[in-house]
Amino acid sequence: MYFADRILYIANLTIYKNCCMANVPVTPQKKSKLTLWIVVAMILGIAVGYFVHEYYAVATAKTFSTNINLLTTIFLRLVQMIVAPIVFTTLAVGIAKLGDMKTVGRVGGKAMLWFITASLVSLSLGLLLVNIFKPGVGADIKHTDVAAVNDLLEKSKGFSLQKFVEHVVPRSVIEAMANNEILQLVVFSIFFGIALTAVGKKGEPIINALDSLAHVILKMVGYVMYLAPVGVFGAMAAAIAKNGIGILFTFGKYLGEFYLGLLILWLLLLGVGYLFLKQRLIPLVKRIAAPMGIAFSTASSEAVYPKLVEELERFGCSNKIVSFILPLGYSFNLDGSMMYMTFASMFIAQAFNITGITGDVSQQIIMLLVFLITSKGIAGVPRASLVVVLATGAMFGLPAEGVGLILAIDVFCDMGRTMTNVLGNALATSVVSKWEGELKHSA
């Protein structure tokens, strides 16, 4: 009982400290405090999770993991509550402000050029590194999480061209909002924004109303973010209590090599970003530090979408560019996830000694290109990377049970790839803003 009371005390203290800053103007100091509280929450979560895993029975640890994760669920649901409104209002207004289809096409074309190039680089890097390190060679293939693999198999059965079209094209904007289908909202918002522009002055009151609504929702973002450290604490405590820190050492080689790959990908992304942003790159990274911290600890890109919109606009990116590029990026620019797909697939091929893949470079390149296409079909699906690996890997003879080898540590891999996705989308939005001459000084 005392242990539970201490956890609640820590959570309430975090909320109180952040709420005390509610009326303080936004300054770099305040932002750094949010980042600091997120780091503190991560450390506390790891410590508490380790204590529960080591000193309590397995059943108790699992129950604790489920219950403490409710803190994260509350935070994520509050964020999900405002994702659909912010995507619709900002994107519709952004499209209307862009003015015409020619501008929309130009900006969209630049964004897709970045997305496709970054995806190819990420996939190729994962393929290159897994062939160099060969983490799957000698892996113990006896230990697989059969139940979890079956759950993923159910999700991957509907993976088809038809499902892709259904995922992209909305049949109801209300349904899309209810399910937080970002890509469907993008399609509807683009049509709505273009129509607003086409009706001329009659659409101006609606544009102004949506613009005002977007500012109200962004204000809500600030309130929800006060709970971010609590959500982070719950996520870390749940993950460590359930799996234990020991699992990080058991799969140390796989995790270490994957995170080394992420580090190299970061350097490539930041290097390209510097070519365009120059000295503005460091202020950008500082701006998105808090969203990236939340993304890492909760393994949810959706959790940071509203905050990322806010920080990119404060960095100086044009509102109309942010509202157009960022939602697209969430479906088409998942750099960390892309790298993981080739890395995980080749790991399974090596573990099961599938020479038709491990010894055939042409097959690996074909698999890479297939991933480039199939990865766009299930954005927003939990553990989307593994679902894509299952669905696409079956085309190349990869056994489904191979995913069971990495399921136990997927949450830790997901943290890194989610944070990388956030970095990639922030860079893409900033660079396109610079290309369009819409990058202003920080607010």
Q: Given this model, what pLDDT does residue 45 score?
A: 93
Q: Which domains does the chain have, with CATH numbers?
A: 2-435 (1.10.3860.10)
Winning range, highest mean pLDDT, from 264-278, 296-310, 387-401 = 264-278
Residue 218 DSSP class: H
One-letter identity of residue 376:
K
* Structure tokens given for 140: 């113990």
- Residue-wise pLDDT for 70-114, tens only, equals 999 999 899 889 888 988 998 888 888 776 678 888 888 999 999
Residue 399 CA to residue 52 CA, distance in Å, equals 35
Core vs surface per residue 190-205: b (16+ CB within 10 A) or e: bebbbebbeeeeebee
Do residues 325 and 99 touch, judged by C-beta distance below 8 A?
Answer: no
Q: Given this model, what pLDDT does residue 318 score?
A: 87
- C-alpha dist (Å) from residue 298 to 73, 187, 240, 262, 425: 10, 28, 13, 18, 18
* Structure tokens given for 226: 């006060």
Based on its alpha-carbon atoms, the radius of gyration of the chain, rounded to whole angstroms, reads 22
- Residue-wise pLDDT for 34-50, tens only, equals 888 988 999 999 999 99
Q: In terms of Cα–Cα distance, which of 409, 254, 399, 420 is closest to 334?
A: 420
Task: Give the mean pLDDT of 224-239.
Answer: 91
Do residues 72 and 238 touch, judged by C-beta distance below 8 A?
Answer: yes
Residue 1 DSSP class: -
- Residue-wise pLDDT for 134-158, tens only, equals 988 877 665 555 555 666 666 656 5
Classify residue 328 as exposed, middle or buried by CB count within 10 Å of its CB (0-12, 13-18, 19+): buried
Q: Is the per-residue pLDDT at 427 higher than 90? A: yes
Q: Given this model, what pLDDT does residue 382 score?
A: 54
* Structure tokens given for 414: 């997901």
- Residue-wise pLDDT for 278-317, tens only, equals 999 999 999 999 999 999 988 888 888 999 999 999 999 9
- Residue-wise pLDDT for 333-381, tens only, equals 989 999 999 999 999 999 888 988 888 899 999 999 988 887 765 555 5
CA distance from start to end of the chain: 47
Residue 381 DSSP class: S
